[in-house]
Structure 1
Amino acid sequence: MDKKPTTRKGPHFCSLRYGLALIMHFSNFTMITQRVSLSIAIIAMVNSTQLRGPVNASIEDHWIDTLNNQSSSIKEVNTRGMAWTGQFTIWAKWAPPLERSKLTSIAGSGAAFGSFIILCVGGLISQALGWPFIFYIFGSIGCVCCLLWFTVIYDDPLNHPCISIREKEYIVSSLTQQSSSPRRSVPIKAMVRCLPLWAIFMGFFSHFWLCTIIITYLPTYINTVLHVNIRDSGVLSSLPFIAASSCTILGGQLADFLLSRNLLSLIAVRKLFSSLGLLLPSLCAVALPFVASSYMTTIILLILIPGTSNLCDSGFIINTLDVAPRYASFLMGISRGFGLIAGIISSTTTGFLISQDSESGWRNVFFLSAAVNMFGLIFYFTFGQAKIQDWAKERPLTRL
């Protein structure tokens, strides 16, 4: 029988593990700003060439969409994918079970906060200083982030030179139920047959389908549907991500509160936040085409979609730490692979649909996204679990 997570209190917000969460928040902030910077710079570069002739206007949309999709996919593989898997390797050894939602949500909220900042100030920087300064500024922030990461981040609390004895003992004792032996070969066959893992993968696929559309096409939607100029469009596009950052942190706090007070079981918490994170944005997306005539209602719904979607961070997104903490990094890589596939398909599909007919195209985009989210929700709700799987448990070595 699985051991119940310890409820013994340890040092909290002044502790080293919360410092690590803030550095990871900063890292995710840096990665997303560098990703979105390219999309903003492309628009600025294209706008600077519009006076060359009418031919440029005819190819502008195609060029922007193509480069946006390519840059999103390439950067997702090369940066966020590897960084996220690395972060989950660290949390498997640093995050006490009753603080996993809190710590991972603090770290993960950096992506939404970065989206808010870059969309809010990226256009202003390109207008005031020129588009190259977007890369100069946020590239410099990335260099500072690297220095912090290499200086402060360690694989586990046992080897960190600055951790207090009290915090080290608390973390180690809270993770005694997990494996501490050298990792054996990855049980691929057992993983392939594990429905709780497939539930996580389908959750990632559904979640990233809509998230990629919002990140990539939100400025386009605001500009073409609401007819807002580019400068104001950047500011409006940033608002949903401050809501997403806030919901990520608040969701993590609430999830761990429910667990620490024994109000809900671990699987109930995971399914609750997964349901909220997939159902609520779907409802908002389906409602968008019907309120297009109302500027304020449309803005509110666009703010709610990323905000409520990030409640998944306390659901299936950290579920690999529950079902297979030994292989959390490996499984997170696979999970984000499913998310990447969803992002490529959804962004390509969106570009095709809105190029055929803008009004009906956006409606079909949102309806299709809601359908994908509902599929992921039903699959996760049916097969999701939160107990350590048999193939991921510690097994003592025996000699014949």
Structure 2
Amino acid sequence: MAPAAAAAAQPAPPSLSLPPSQFARLQPHAYLLAHLSPPPSSNQPSIRANGRAPSQFRVTSANTGSLTHTNGSAVVRLGDTTAVCGVRAEILHTEDIASWSVSRPTPASSSPTGNKRRKLTDSTAKLSAESENKEEDGDDESQIQDFSLLVPNLSLSTGCAPGFIPGAPPSALAQSLSHQILTLLHSTRLVRAEDLRIWYQPPNLGPEELERHNENEQMDVDAPQGEVDLEKNKEIKAFWVLYIDIMIISLAGNPFDAAWAAVLAALRDTKLARAWWDVDNEMVVCSDAVSEARKLSLRGLPISSTFCVFEADAASGWRAVVIPDAEEEKELDDSTRKGIQRRWVLADPDGYEEGLSQERICVVVDKEQDGKGKTVIMKLEKNGGWAVDTKELKTLVDISAQRWEDLKQILEQC
């Protein structure tokens, strides 16, 4: 009895199983694959390690006007990734632009096209207005790019994620994200150059003065003299330059979507003071009245959605069956097909999933505000692999369109 009692008092041998936290650190690929590919007999859907469905985005929140020393600011939180954006506006005089004298646009009223436009019929004038809008869009893009009127800068704060230590130089990730944001600002033509121009309109001197100053110039008889003279003498004296500073204070995957959403929210919150050219002092003067400040008239609302592709390791034999013939795969039932899935497209990847995927897709869409709600693809970028085909890209565009609706409501509420 004594030996039996002693044996019963001995502790049980330790279990050979690992807790989920250690399993995730030791075998991250197998850990995520175990969630996405459950046994067919369990009848459980594919679910990610963070509890989301493959096409589900993280909870998003936005807040504007948090920084009082900026013209516009926003804080956007995408799961555990948080981005803070502040927009500062500064005045750039045309005298300080070296290429301004050679790139100065010719007034429309002084060109033959401007004189003939007044004599067009209604139907032709409509086509002329459309072409004029296209020219204006091209002018917006050229001036904003040539004079660098939009200057984004993204930085990753110390401690936002492991590996970002104090005193380190700007990382390649921060420089890459800054360039992507600048490229997207230019390609979408989000900010209009007209909102950034500071004009000088000379006063109307009257018929006698106009006749004396323009005695050597032939006026257009089809247009009022005052209109022609005002259009001719109107000139740009300065531009507003928008410095867009973004800081990622918490990085847990997908920093581009969070940073771009913060830029959108901050630009929607940006107000520019009423500015005019003071002839006596030869300088730009701004009004202190807050009521006279105006918001930017942004062109659309492009929303970015990022996806990553997670592929199963067929060599490890983890419920992955290689089917050599596509016809044989079509004949399989649903339960068997569930066990042979070898890759998943994950929306809004977190930091854990980004480290396990190599192929990434970024889709930027916008919707027309004409009542039809047609989806317009502003950017479609895929890098790191060739697993996603045309059919899956169309599905990702549909998911991005739904994401546009959700994020639009969030930005309108802030």
TM range (shorter): under 0.3
The structure whose Rg is larger is 2
> More strand per residue: 1 or 2?
2
